[in-house]
């Protein structure tokens, strides 16, 4: 919630057992926090389990962004421990003293057998933006419609249990009926599942697994229909 409230995308969340050193640190921190309470040790012994887990997060924003700073403050208010391991700019270039040192090294090597400029003029990922991907949307409701508009620079097709041919044509998207799943998956680079969350299990069971090999499968199911009790 700390990040989603501020529209900060997360690319990874991973849990790992907490180290003994960090567990002892939290034990000490908690003991100091409740030192003024008469039953602090008893309270702490009940609240802190023998084993705890850490969560590692990768977010798609700079640590220096105002929204990220607010999200981190929010997270620290709700968690016992929060640490930033690093912030790495996308498509970065050498600047400042590092760039000057590399330039000096290139000058020093002038006249010697050339090994090429040590400073990259471009990154391999620079060419990715120009590549047109073949993307398939499984489910073409309001969210699928929105995604197809955002991905208009790519070759997008969709499939749905309902006839969405009219909506697809308006967005220049190729529509496939639900019974034609095999042809729909043919040649795709990315498969995005956008059916309502309540239909996810049924949708996954109906997919031909052998046709999904070498494809990136992404689930972005909207929670617009809740399970009935």
Q: What is the pLDDT of residue 108?
A: 79
Span 25-50, average pLDDT: 61
**pLDDT greater at residue 184 or residue 36:** 184
Rounded CA gap, 76 and 74, in Å? 6
List, as one string, the DSSP characters of 61-113. S-TTSHHHHHHHHHHHHH-S---------TT----HHHHHHHHHHHHHTTTSP
Confidence of residue 115 (pLDDT cuts 50, 70, 90): low
Tens of pLDDT, residues 105-114? 877 777 666 5
Residue whose pair of structure tokens reads 């697809």 in the numeric block:
168
Confidence of residue 44 (pLDDT cuts 50, 70, 90): very low
**pLDDT greater at residue 19 or residue 182:** 182
**pLDDT greater at residue 119 or residue 78:** 78
Tens of pLDDT, residues 169-228? 999 999 999 999 999 999 999 999 999 888 888 999 999 989 998 899 999 887 765 555
Rounded CA gap, 64 and 74, in Å? 15
List, as one string, the DSSP characters of 199-226. GHHHHHHHS-GGGGTT-EEEE-----SP
Q: State whether the Cα torsion 23-29-34-38 is positive or negative.
A: positive
Rounded CA gap, 103 and 93, in Å? 13
Query: For the chain, what percent of residues have pLDDT higher than 70?
Result: 80
Residue 178, both tokens = 């639900």
Q: Do 203 and 193 contact (CB within 8 A), yes or no?
A: yes
Confidence of residue 41 (pLDDT cuts 50, 70, 90): very low
Tens of pLDDT, residues 139-158? 999 999 999 999 999 999 99
């Amino acid at each position: 919630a700390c990040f989603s409230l501020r529209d900060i995308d997360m690319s990874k969340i991973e849990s790992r057992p907490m180290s003994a050193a960090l567990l002892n640190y939290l034990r000490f921190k908690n003991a100091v926090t409740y030192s003024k309470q008469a039953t602090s040790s008893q309270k702490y012994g009940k609240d802190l389990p023998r084993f705890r887990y850490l969560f590692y997060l990768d977010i798609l924003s700079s640590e220096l962004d105002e929204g990220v700073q607010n999200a981190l403050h929010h997270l620290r208010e709700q968690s016992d421990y929060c640490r930033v391991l690093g912030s790495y700019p996308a498509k970065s270039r050498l600047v400042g003293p590092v760039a000057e040192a590399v330039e000096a090294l290139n000058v020093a090597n002038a006249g010697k057998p050339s090994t090429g400029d040590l400073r990259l003029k471009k990154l391999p990922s620079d060419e990715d933006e120009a590549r047109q991907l073949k993307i398939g949307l499984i489910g073409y409701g309001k969210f699928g419609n929105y995604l197809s508009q955002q991905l208009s620079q790519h070759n997008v097709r969709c499939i749905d249990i309902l006839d969405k041919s009219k909506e697809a044509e308006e967005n220049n998207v190729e529509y496939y009926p639900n019974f034609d799943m095999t042809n729909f998956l043919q040649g795709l680079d990315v498969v995005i599942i956008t059916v309502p969350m309540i239909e996810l299990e049924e949708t996954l069971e109906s997919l031909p697994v052998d046709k999904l090999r070498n494809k990136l499968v992404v689930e972005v199911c909207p929670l617009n229909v809740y399970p009935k009790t």
